[in-house]
């Protein structure tokens, strides 16, 4: 009984200490990401392809190619989560952070999910609308705007365009949200395998570089 009591005290304490130490492992700055995004939006002059490539080049210059992947065509894959569908490419994935390009030129709508990570969603082209229970009108985000979703909160959203998304927190806990629709809806197992493979390769690669 005493052992269970000690465990009951130690586990929350350990979790708290681990959680409070997460920020020291972060390398990406949401303010800087928004700044680089605005520069790329201006350089692209309305052409989403140019915006995305310009931004990835800028990110690699700022953070290094060891932490930011290129925008290779064969590394894109579908993402079905919370009822929404789009395409994404992993620019960075580690235990405490992920940085992706996500979007669709067709439009999509869904649930953000409830996560143990803070989320920064910078619009690069098109528009995003966000809604929380109790709100009558949506919040609207356009190119250059950054939508911040604190961990533990959820929203409904509509997106028609492309965005740079940064998540900071316990990234592995977010993965089931991105996988579940495969088993309940799409049954797109090849896409699931590509998602798992690329996520794993990136996380292991960053761990080998000492990036937690």
pLDDT bracket for residue 21 (50, 70, 90): confident
* Cα 143 to Cα 165: distance, rounded to the nearest angstrom: 13
Q: Is the pLDDT of residue 28 over 80?
A: yes
pLDDT at 11 over 60: no
Does residue 9 register a pLDDT over 60? no
Q: Does pLDDT of 20 surpass 80?
A: no
Express each pLDDT in 156-205 by its tens digit.
999 999 999 999 999 999 999 999 999 999 999 999 999 999 999 999 99
Structure confidence at residue 15 (pLDDT): 39
Name the one residue in this structure whose structure tokens are 């365009």: 161
Q: How far apart are CA 74 and CA 53, in angstroms?
A: 15
Q: What is the pLDDT of residues 48-57, one digit of tens each?
A: 999 999 999 9
In the structure encoding, which two tokens stand for residue 59, read together? 């990110």
Q: How far is the C-alpha of 65 from the C-alpha of 45, rounded, in Å?
A: 26
Helix axis angle for 30-44 and 48-63, nearest 10°, is 140
- Could you report how far apart the first and last alpha carbons of the chain are, in Å? 36
For residue range 72-108, what is the model confidence (pLDDT) as tens digits? 999 999 999 999 999 999 999 999 999 999 999 999 9
Residue 176, Cβ density class (10 Å: 0-12 exposed, 13-18 middle, ≥19 buried): exposed
The pLDDT assigned to 5 comes to 44
- Higher-pLDDT residue of 139, 16: 139
- For residue 2, pLDDT over 60 is answered with no
What architecture is domain 22-208? Sandwich (2.60)
In percent, how much of the chain has pLDDT > 90? 89
């Amino acid at each position: 009984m005493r052992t269970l009591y000690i465990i009951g005290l130690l586990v929350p304490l350990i979790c708290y200490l681990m959680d409070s130490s997460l920020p020291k492992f972060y390398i990406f700055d949401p303010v800087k990401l928004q700044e680089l995004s605005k520069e790329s939006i201006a350089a692209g002059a309305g052409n989403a392809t140019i915006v995305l490539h310009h931004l990835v080049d800028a990110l690699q210059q700022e953070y290094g190619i060891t932490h930011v992947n290129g925008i290779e065509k064969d590394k894109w894959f579908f993402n079905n989560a919370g009822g929404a569908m789009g395409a994404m490419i992993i620019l960075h994935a580690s235990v405490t952070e992920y940085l992706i390009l996500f979007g669709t030129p067709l439009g999509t709508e869904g649930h953000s999910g409830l996560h143990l990570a803070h989320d920064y969603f910078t619009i690069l082209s098109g528009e995003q609308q966000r809604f929380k229970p109790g709100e009558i009108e949506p919040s609207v985000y356009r190119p250059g705007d950054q939508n911040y979703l604190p961990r533990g909160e959820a929203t409904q959203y509509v997106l028609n365009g492309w965005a740079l998304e940064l998540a900071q927190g316990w990234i592995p806990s977010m993965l089931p949200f991105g996988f579940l629709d495969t088993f309940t809806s799409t049954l797109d197992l090849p896409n699931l395998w590509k998602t798992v493979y690329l996520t794993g390769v990136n996380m292991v690669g960053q761990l080998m570089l000492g990036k937690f």
